[in-house]
Structure 1
């Protein structure tokens, strides 16, 4: 089970993104190095995709409230109280979830949360506190399977650039180079973000791992 990871400092998605001016595009079959996709595959202009049905956190997540409730997905600062860059959380009442901590006006707790996602806000329908969460959680479902396709052979330096450029993706949370691929945590993907990543960098180079799992748009 993936557990909530506390890191020493918040990771900032504010990366220097280098965009070339060429017009070549990937063919989607992974037959060559990743190239500048040009205007046709510029950064997605739409926000994070919405889900058509219920979604859930496939692991325990931190609910943080320093003035408004937020659902923390991704890195959390190891401070007291903790800090994170969270999603707006609707329908949350602390009186219904007493299993939490308080400090200096902040409230927080770890929960497995189920609800709906409209692309901007998570609306809670059910929350199981960490103390009662004894069913192993599943890993986030990749929208592309690591290692499953023939992909361009990129150098470590090229993969590092791709990892930085992946911050273009709506809902980006973090990226890491693993076994010659770039694994990217995003809030949610209905398949369109993975399709864009395949077009930009070549199929199989970037694998998206949505932090909310559930139904995809048709």
Structure 2
């Protein structure tokens, strides 16, 4: 049985093993939004720019690098998440084992409805001091007043349903008995995700916590 650990706990994985940068192979990388990974991709004027410190991984059978919300505690690690457009493994330090490439990075970009589009070059988290990015640290989400009183079982069923419906964005969820809400841990809270919750559940019953934060 594989164990799963939060992304924050696997930021140290970059220090495990001696990864090899495969400069001779770039096949399977995500389609780029620009000709190369230069950080010069221009986002639409109304696009929200997000930032986060996350694991990026590309498995053997994946045709794109992906941002990970939860990572399997194995070697090499395993995960699935949001595809990244504009990713070039040749341009970043990374680990590699058994055909899997991964690393921990500060990423900045927009969401185009299908993938995370880089707008700046990714920076290995080993090269930065996360104390300089307090806005990226976990913060308790704002909880309102739920429109209906639901049981623990009902709240957990909501969390499980959202997790199953949006596996690329949502890493899990649980019932918060004290506040009467379903707390959802998400890689990115997309408009689609918010609309789904608003349409299917009582107002203020679902509360999201996002790993990717809007840049203000």
User: TM-score, normalization: structure 1?
Assistant: 0.63
- 1:96 match: 91
Q: Aligned in 2, Cα 1:128/1:84: closer, same or farther, shift over 3 Å?
A: same
Q: Aligned in 2, Cα 1:71/1:190: closer, same or farther, shift over 3 Å?
A: closer
Residue of structure 1 aligned with 2:111, choices 117, 121, 125: 117
Q: Please tell me whether the aligned partners of residues 146 and 204 of structure 1 are also in contact (alpha carbons under 8 angstroms).
A: no
- In 1, Cα distance between the equivalents of 2:90 and 2:165? 38
- 2:40 match: none
Q: CA deviation at 1:154?
A: 1.5
**1:43-122 pair list within 5 angstroms:** 52-58=46-52, 60-67=53-60, 68-98=63-93, 100-122=94-116
- In 2, Cα distance between the equivalents of 1:51 and 1:172? 27
Q: Please tell me whether the aligned partners of residues 67 and 83 of structure 2 are also in contact (alpha carbons under 8 angstroms).
A: no
Q: Report how many residues are paired.
A: 167
User: TM-score, normalization: structure 2?
Assistant: 0.63
Cα offsets for 1:90-112 (capped at 9, x unmatched)? 222223212x2121222211001
**1:190-205 pair list within 5 angstroms:** 191=191, 193-205=193-205
- 2:172 match: 174
- 1:212 match: 212
Cα offsets for 1:40-79 (capped at 9, x unmatched)? xxxxxxxxxx994253343x21111235442333111011
Q: Please tell me whether the aligned partners of residues 160 and 172 of structure 2 are also in contact (alpha carbons under 8 angstroms).
A: no
- 1:11 match: none
Whose relative contact order is higher, 1 or 2, with alpha carbons under 8 Å and at least 6 apart? 1
- In 2, Cα distance between the equivalents of 1:70 and 1:155? 39
- In 1, Cα distance between the equivalents of 2:208 and 2:71? 20
Where 1:109 maps in the other structure, the secondary structure is: strand
Q: Aligned in 2, Cα 1:173/1:3: closer, same or farther, shift over 3 Å?
A: closer
- In 2, Cα distance between the equivalents of 1:192 and 1:203? 16
Q: Please tell me whether the aligned partners of residues 95 and 102 of structure 2 are also in contact (alpha carbons under 8 angstroms).
A: yes
Q: Aligned in 2, Cα 1:63/1:192: closer, same or farther, shift over 3 Å?
A: closer
Residue of structure 2 aligned with 1:165, choices 161, 165, 170: 161
- In 2, Cα distance between the equivalents of 1:152 and 1:119? 31
- 1:4 match: 8
- In 2, Cα distance between the equivalents of 1:69 and 1:194? 26
- In 1, Cα distance between the equivalents of 2:175 and 2:75? 30
Unaligned ranges ≥5, structure 2: 1-5, 11-43
- 1:16 match: none
Cα offsets for 1:21-46 (capped at 9, x unmatched)? xxxxxxxxxxxxxxxxxxxxxxxxxx
